Amino acid sequence: MEQPIVELRDVVKSYRQGHVDVPALRGLTLSVRKGEFVAICGPSGSGKTTALNLIGALDRPSSGSVRVEGQELARLSRTRLSSLRRDRIGFVFQAYNLIPVLTAYENAESVLALQGVDARQRRERVMALLAEVGLGGLEHRRPDHLSGGQQQRVAIARAIAADPAVVLADEPTANVDSETAERLLDIMGKLNTERGATFIFSTHDPRVMDHARRLVRLVDGRIESDETR
């Protein structure tokens, strides 16, 4: 059987508030395989963003195991974790997190530049991606000259450019209108279907849940249901 790209086993995560440890995840076990299009949903405080932060090596569990492509994250050095985040994990945030002084093209190519990919290869890959997400002709615009939906498309192109093992999308439709949200979800669905890109969303948006092919519902840091459509 093919190894999961992402695997969490008995993951507990607590945060210190004053003199009390407040649990965010309570023994979460979850695996995601290549090519899945998964939405982790639940009410505020259910632990969905915490789960994404642990998968993305942005935080560490209090106990339990988090693996990406078979690598136990707790055993990796800071340097190797940084390399993993750069090379194998794509991030799409609700706040876009684009670099304001860079153009759409420069933002989208930034990971490839860090990887040392040849400039010609970078240009071919990034220009094709920008066209694929509907930004052909806008590559020279900076974020302040792009709409919110266009900025999120740049973020999606950036996340996909380096062909990561998994793309983590934290509330990616939160700051856009309904029509733009549908377009973004169609774009990510197409990238999933045609490129085999693996997506894991955290969301409370019904539109994202409707598009997901697998829906994992968290309540109080535990899986309440796990449904594959």
Write the secondary structure of 6-36 as one string of H (helix), E (strand) and C (coil).
EEEEEEEEEEEECCEEEEEEEEEEEEECCCC
Cα 156 to Cα 63: distance, rounded to the nearest angstrom: 31
Q: What is the mean pLDDT of residues 7-30?
A: 93
Q: What is the pLDDT of residue 1?
A: 61
Cα 216 to Cα 156: distance, rounded to the nearest angstrom: 22
Instruction: Report the chain's C-alpha Rg in angstroms.
Output: 17
Phi–psi pair at 40, nearest 5 degrees: -95, 115
Please, which pLDDT band fits residue 41 given cuts at 50, 70 and 90? very high
6-228: CATH number? 3.40.50.300
Angle between helices 104-115 and 119-132 (to 10 degrees): 140
Q: What is the mean pLDDT of residues 58-74?
A: 95
